[in-house]
Structures are given as structure tokens and as C-alpha cells.
A and B are shown apart, each in its own frame.
Chain A
Amino acid sequence: MERKLSEYISLSQTIDVTKSSKKIKVGILSSFTINGLDETLTVKCSELDIEYKSYVAGYNQYNQEILDPKSNLYLSAPDITFLIIDIRTLLNEIFHHPYSISSSERKKIVKEKISELRNLILQFKKNCRSKLIISNFSLPSYSPSGLIETKSEFGFHDMISEINQELSKIAKDESSVYVYNFNQFVSKFGEKNIFDYRQFFIGDIKIAFDYIPYLANDLMGYIKPMLGLNKKCIVLDLDNTLWGGIVGEDEFDGIELGQSSNGKAFVEFQKHLLSLWQQGIILAINSKNNFEDAIKVIREHPDMILKEEHFASLQINWNDKAQNLKAISEELNIGLGSIVYFDDDPVNQERIKQEIPEVLTVKLPEDPSQYTDILMSLNDFNVLQKTDEDLKRGKMYSQQRQRVELEQSTKNIDDFLKQLNIKVKIKKADKFTIPRISQLTLKTNQFNLTTKRYQEEDIIKFSSDNNMIVGCAQIEDKFGDSGITNAFIIEKNDKEWKIDTFLLSCRIIGRGIEDAIISYILKEAKNQGVEKIRADFISTKKNSPAEGFLPNCGFKKENEHWIYDLKDPIKSPHHLLLEAE
């Protein structure tokens, strides 16, 4: 349940998040009174330990703020800016009297409005590095032409649909611009609820304040992935979570799945989980059961939508559930903070909340008919860009399981590595790899020397700088393609190069890949007559896996930095093949 706006406003006065490693600067521009949004975002950010700063433009000042290169908005240097314009403001007189003019005049007006919006977006981009989230326009349920609105030649509703479509097209071409589907927001909660005539007449309020918290919730959907707070994995209980009843007691034929009303609810829930898996969300099981009982349902039940191949880890045993969750996190090498946990039992929910607060434990009601709605309401799986690697993630995790099986059956590590036939392909930053390089800097926590976070725009800037090298590596082995799983950024000087960023996706650590890539960089530097390479290790809560890397590669500590003297011989591993573009 969402809290009331008045609660957010009073809570916001008591909040003090400073010195958090997660910071966000937000710009808010709107064409009407949107009081309370800033306060609600303050509270919602503080709950995620985010240091929130904002600039809220004056009432209906969005044009001036965007068009004036010296505006206060730009001075505040936001990371993300929300621009919310309502349809009444955009269409002005035409909103009430669309049929006072001809259809060709309506078309002309729509063209003008689109070019106004395009200009605002382009000016914003020119003046500011912030991401821009622009809302689209809600389609009113009313039309003065009544029933025959749908027969009108480029009618009132067509005008708004056309503007929305064109707006989406503009955003598709601009990597830092996103359309917030405000029209969908209004249809979700209902026009009669969102638009309150009393609040409109008294205060020019066009989103009733009961709904500001829900709007803020949607907007948080953009903030979370910017700070790498999006979730990657759903861990599921089995009994009364994926099917009704308890397989150990009710037996294979006695569980509810498929036919009954409750059974349909579980099937629906599974279908939505599968669609998230197809988008790259990892699924895993954490259940207290006899393994044989439970796996039989997963393998053989005709109404089971999720199959064994969809689960990256199956912790089905009588161990403590918190211990199992930690085992899943270790097995899959993903942080506990990336996990969402679904379990119908309130006692288990409470236990996990207390024991592992980083995990997002979902409050599931007893009634399974609500499960799907709760799953779909989570805005934690959003990403701001989707790469090929994301979509293939489910498959990659099953390949990983096969690698582990090989490792366990091979006696020594060198034999195992040789058998993998690893191929490392070094690539330059280009329009295909830039989104992934940015994503890796935003998401990689463990094997990351400096944990510097870069948006796509930053990477574009670096890659066009002659004094910098931005690269990445794609890794393949006999089990499949792991995609681009390494990135590096180097600042070049004549005598010394500085490693700004060097990171490796956790799923490929420990196979000598990092050694091969660093030795490639060292050789490149040597070939170009460089004398030294400087690197830093900036310690965080999570990056201990990268701690020993520099000294192991032969870097020596001098003052605060790690230095590699290129007069020293450069070692490189022999079990893998390295190619550079």
C-alpha cells in the first residue's frame, strides 16, 4: 500500500541522508502545480539510502528553463530531469474546441506542437548532460463529438495519439531521452481519480495529490537503474508460491496448478515470471522440500510453465532459508542486493527481512490471485538500456552450470582452463559496444578496480578523446558466448598511462582472462613507447575480489598508486587465445 502525500511531506522534513555513496541530482519541470512530488522523491530515495538533491522549476517555467543556456536548471547540473507537460497546456484553446477548425488545420497544429517538443528536447540535450524523461499526453475519455469521435477525420483523439507517437520516435533516436508513459499512468488509475476538478480550479493541480506518490514511484523506476539498484534475480519458494498446497503432503496429484481457480492463479504467476526470464531476469528456487518430490513436479507436471532449464540454481533441501539464499547468491555470483524473494509464508518473509535486509522480500498475501499483480507492480527490474548480453543472460547461467560441472570433474585447474578453449576478443568502443561498456561500469561491483560509474554519454565523450582508450572484451569458450564481460578506460600521456577503469563481470573471474587483458594493455603501452602504467585500487564494500589483482600482475606500490614499470618483462597466460580488433 502506498502512503498518503501528506505523510511524505511530513516525513521529508525529518530526512537527512548525507555521505551516502549513492547520489542523485534531479530536475523537475512541469506545466502545472506539482507540489509534493519533490518531497515524495526525497523520502523514497532516503529509504534506499540515496542522497537526493533537486531543482524544482517555478510554476510553468519549463520553456524558459530549457531555452536559456544559463538557467538555474542547467546551473544545478541534474543527472536526470523530469519534464511533465499536460495536454491542456500543450493544446491550449484547441483542447476545448478541437472542432472549431478543419482537419487540415488540426494536422498543422499537431505538426507545430511536435516541432515545439522536438526543439525543447534538442535544446535540453545541447545545454545539459542530464537524462531527460519527458511525459507523454493522456488521451481524454471525453470528446465533444461524442460517439462519432472515432469516425472523425484526424479528430481530437487522433491529434493526441499522433503527438504521442511522434514523441516516442524522437526519444528512440536520442539515447539519453526517455518517454514516460503518463497516458498509461492515467489509464491505470483512472482519469476521474487523477484529474480532480476542485484541485484544478483552486490550485491548477492536474494530478490529484493522492496520486503523486504513485507517480513518484514510477519515476523512481528511472532513478534506481541509474544507480545500479535494479534487481537481477528472483528467488522463489515452491509450495503455495509456484503451486497451491504442499507437495510433500498433498503429493504430485494433490497440488493446485492449472485447473482450479487457484491453480490458474499460479499458472498466470508462472507465465509472468517466464516473461521476465525472457528479458534476462535470473530465476532460482529456495524451498524446504524433499528434492525428489519437488523436482518431479518441476520436470513432469503438465501445467508447470517454468521448467528446470529456467532456474539458475535449485536450493531444494531442509536447510535454513536464509542460508540457502546466501548460497544462491554465492553460486550465481550476484549480490544479495540484486535479489527479490517471493515466499508465501509470513514467518519466512520476516526471517529473511531480518537476516538479509539487502534482499527485497516481497510481502505476499495469502490469496494467490494477487501474486501476478504484485509481481507486475515491482518497478525494480527496469533497466535504461538493454543489450544482447541482458537478453541472453538466462541461457548464459545454464552454460555456467555446465562449466562448474566440468570444473568439478576435472582434477586440476590448469587442465580445466585448457579444456575450456577460451577466446578473448578485444574490441574498441563503438556504437555497438558503448551501451554495454556503460552498463558494465554501472553494474559491476566485485571485480572493479575503481568502481567509477559512467553513463552512455560519458563513454561516448571518452571514446572520441584522442588521449583516452576505451575498450572492452568479448569472451567465448566451448560452452558458449559470454558476450562483452570486460571493459577498460585508459588516460594516455607520453610517458605514463593511467588506468581509470578496469573491470570484469563476476561470472568470468578466475579463468586468467583478467591477466590476459592486462598483459595486452601493458604490451600496447610498451609498443607506443610508454614507460610506466599507473593504476589505483579504490576499496569498496564489495570489490575485494579485485584487491590482489594489481600486485599479482607485478604492479608495485609507490606512494598511493600502483605502478608497473614497462622495463619489467610482461607475463601472459598460455591457456587462452587473445585477438584484438
Chain B
Amino acid sequence: MSEKLYTIISKVFSVPISVINDESGPETIESWDSFNILILVDELENNFNIKFSVSEIIDIKNVKDIKRHLKNHGVV
């Protein structure tokens, strides 16, 4: 999952994959804002064929949170 996830994150936020880790979030990635999170969610939903709820989306504060929610949707 991580590899695919990092590729998507890197594309949406226009950052190299090498700078992404579990703690990446608005503090470390400049383009991490509420609009781009929605774009990211859209990409994740299309790529992993899942659908997030509003509470899951607004809960996303860093990459670790995204992984947790993906796991809950059965993405391994």
C-alpha cells in the first residue's frame, strides 16, 4: 500500500517521494491544505476503490492517519 500511497501523495502535493513519511502533514508539506486533501481523497478513492466518510476526511492530519483509514477500509 505504502508505495502506491506515496506515489499519489507525491503527485497531489507536488513533492518528491523521498520526503514523505508517516509524520508528513501540513507542517512539512507546504501544499497540504484543505482543498488538496480533498483532491488526495478523490485520488485515493479512485485508486483503492473505497469511499471515505466526512469524519474520516476531516480527521486526516498526517500520512499515518491516511494509512489507518485505508486499513479500516481493508486496503493492505
Contacts and interface: CB of A to CB of B under 8 A. Distances in A.
Interface of A: 5-6, 9-10, 13, 33, 35-36, 198-199, 201-203, 205, 209-210
B43 interface: yes
Contacts of B14: 10, 13
Nearest to B41: A198
A37 to B, nearest CB: 12
Given A6-B12, A6-B43, A210-B42, A198 B35 contact: no
A10 B38 contact: no
Interface in B30-76: 34-35, 38-39, 42-43, 52-54, 57-58
B11 interface: yes
A6 B46 CA distance: 13
Given A198-B57, A202-B58, A10 B35 contact: no
A481 B20 CA distance: 70
A199 B38 CA distance: 7
Chain A contact residues: helix, strand, loop or mixed: helix
Contacts of A203: 34-35, 38
A112 B52 CA distance: 41
A10 B9 CA distance: 12
A9 B58 CA distance: 22
8 contacts: A6-B39, A6-B43, A9-B39, A10-B11, A13-B14, A35-B35, A202-B57, A205-B38
Please list the 3 inter-chain residue pairs (A to B) with the smallest Cβ-Cβ separation, ordered nearest first. A35-B35, A6-B39, A198-B54
Contacts of A198: 52-54, 57
Contacts of B34: 202-203
Contacts of B57: 198, 202
B39 A202 contact: no
Contacts of A33: 35
B11 A202 contact: no
A9 B31 CA distance: 12
B38, B43, B53, B58: most-surrounded residue (chain A CB, <10 A): B38
A9 B54 CA distance: 23
A33 to B, nearest CB: 7
A239 to B, nearest CB: 40
B42 A209 contact: yes
A202 B54 contact: yes
A6 B42 contact: yes
A335 to B, nearest CB: 38
Given A6-B11, A6-B12, A10-B11, A201 B39 contact: no
Nearest to B51: A198
B49 to A, nearest CB: 16
B54 A209 contact: no
Interface string B1-34: 0000000000110100000000000000000001
A202 B54 CA distance: 7
Contact of A209 (B11, B39, B53, B58): B39
A201 B12 contact: no
A199 B36 CA distance: 12
Nearest to A5: B39
B1 to A, nearest CB: 20
**Most chain A CB atoms below 10 A, which of B52, B57, B58:** B57
